[in-house]
Structure formats: C-alpha cells, structure tokens
Amino acid sequence: MKMSKINILLLFFVGLAFLTETYAQQTPQPKPEATEVWEPEPKVVTPGEGTKPPSDAIVLFDGKDFANWVSSKDGNTPKWAIKDGAMVVEKGTGDIQTKQTFGDFQLHIEWRTPDKVEGEGQGRGNSGIFLQERYELQVLDSYQNRTYSNGQAGSFYKQTIPLVNACKKPGEWQVYDIIYTAPRFRWNGSLESPARVTVIHNGVVVQNSTIIHGTTEYIGVPKNIAHGKGGIRLQDHGNPVSYRNIWIREL
Ligand code: MG
C-alpha cells in the first residue's frame, strides 16, 4: 500500500508530538514553589484606626506635652503653647524639633492654620515641616491665597510645586502623610543619591517620589552637604499654626 503525502505528514507530526512529550517528561519542569520567598517574614503591625497610630509607630506628639521636643535655638523645652491637644506656634520663640533623629521614615502629621484669616501670600498661616532639619515641606494657608507656586502648601519650598492644591479652609485640620528616603552620601561627602519624598495631603498625592535637590534656601540654590540622621523640625514663621497627632515609623 502506497502512503499518500498527507498520511506521511500526519505520521511525522504524531512522531514529533510523541518525542516532545517524552522530552518534557524527562526534563525537570519549574514548579510554582520555585519562585516563592518565605524569609524573612514581615512582622505584624496592627494598623491604626481613626487618629490612633499603627502599633509600631513612635508617637512624637500625643497632645499632652513637649517630652519629645526641644527648641532648635537652644535645646531647651519649647516655648510654644499647648491648647486643646495641639501644639501652637508662639511667635518669636523659634523653631522646635524632635529630640530623636531619623533617616528614612513615614511621618504622619496634622496641622491647622488659624480660622481668623490674617495677612496674605506667605504671611498667612505660614509654618513648615523640615525633614531631617533641612528640607522644608511648606505649611501655608493656601485656600484661595495665591503666592508663588513653589511656596504654597504641599510644595518643597523654593524647589518643587505640588501636583495639586488640596488645601482645606482655614481653621480646619489637615493631614500630611510623608514617605521619605534620605539622601545618601559617599565617604568623601559627595552626593550618591538625592532624597526622595512622596507627600499625601488630605488623602491627595501632591508629591510623587519627588527628588529633593538639597537644602531649603530662602535665597539662592539648594546645597548638598553630607549629613546623617536628622530631627523633624517645625517652623516658627510668626503665625499661630497648630500641630497635633504626630507619629513616625522608621523605614
Ligand atoms: Mg514655611
């Protein structure tokens, strides 16, 4: 019996399928488990609820006292006021900062500009949160209060404009959630990688993995001077801005 060309072709493919199957059975196949990683196991953190911080957070201010803070000027107890569970800038007493210093972190901080609107532009509800004592995330009453864009609330002062203006009305509590990666410096003091920061203002992303170009300068360009860990510093800009519920998690 003469085989047709089609039959020969059919036989060829059946043979090929058989050989492929045999080869597959002999060769070890990757298993799903091969790409599972079990160690280390992330530790358990109980998330915060409402104004309660997560279980592993360092509470920097719980509304009671300045136990974790000093005056940036002289290292003494801050002369700011504590009113209704909030710390309030006392004009002319200077900046305050945490006793503890930090590298990479997640910071939660709530702030409120005065409900009685006074001044305009940079003179209205101005304060600031200096990350590692050097890089100012602006606090300002930016509700219907135009100023230069890289100086409004949510900006890194004189550096980076916020993506949007998520400011609440004066007198309302606002929230910054800040995820910060500190700059890295080489042994000789040169910059290896700049700081990066993400800021969520009242639930809205205003800085997305933003590069910080160096120190906050009122006049001139940012500087990069090697440094280690630094405190969280809050600015006295002469306006009675309030802060409460401040906690941090080292990363
Ligand atoms: Mg400021």
CA of 175 from ligand 1 middle (Å) equals 16
CA of 204 from ligand 1 middle (Å) equals 20
CA of 122 from ligand 1 middle (Å) equals 8
DSSP string covering 115-142: SS--S-GGGSS-EEEEETTTEEEEE---
CA of 40 from ligand 1 middle (Å) equals 41
**DSSP run (H or E) holding 13:** helix 5-26
CA of 227 from ligand 1 middle (Å) equals 22
Helices (H) then strands (E): counts for the chain: 1, 15
In this prediction, residue 199 carries a pLDDT of 98
pLDDT < 70 positions in the chain: 1-3, 6, 9, 12-16, 18-20, 22-25
In this prediction, residue 50 carries a pLDDT of 80
In this prediction, residue 5 carries a pLDDT of 72
Question: CATH class for domain 58-250?
Answer: mainly beta
**DSSP run (H or E) holding 105:** strand 105-112
CA of 94 from ligand 1 middle (Å) equals 12
* Domain residue spans of the chain: 5-35, 58-250
CA angle at 162 for the pair 156 and 168, rounded to the nearest 5°: 105
* pLDDT (tens digit per residue) in 122-147: 999 999 999 999 999 999 999 999 99
CA of 184 from ligand 1 middle (Å) equals 25
Contact 162, 152 (CB under 8 A): yes
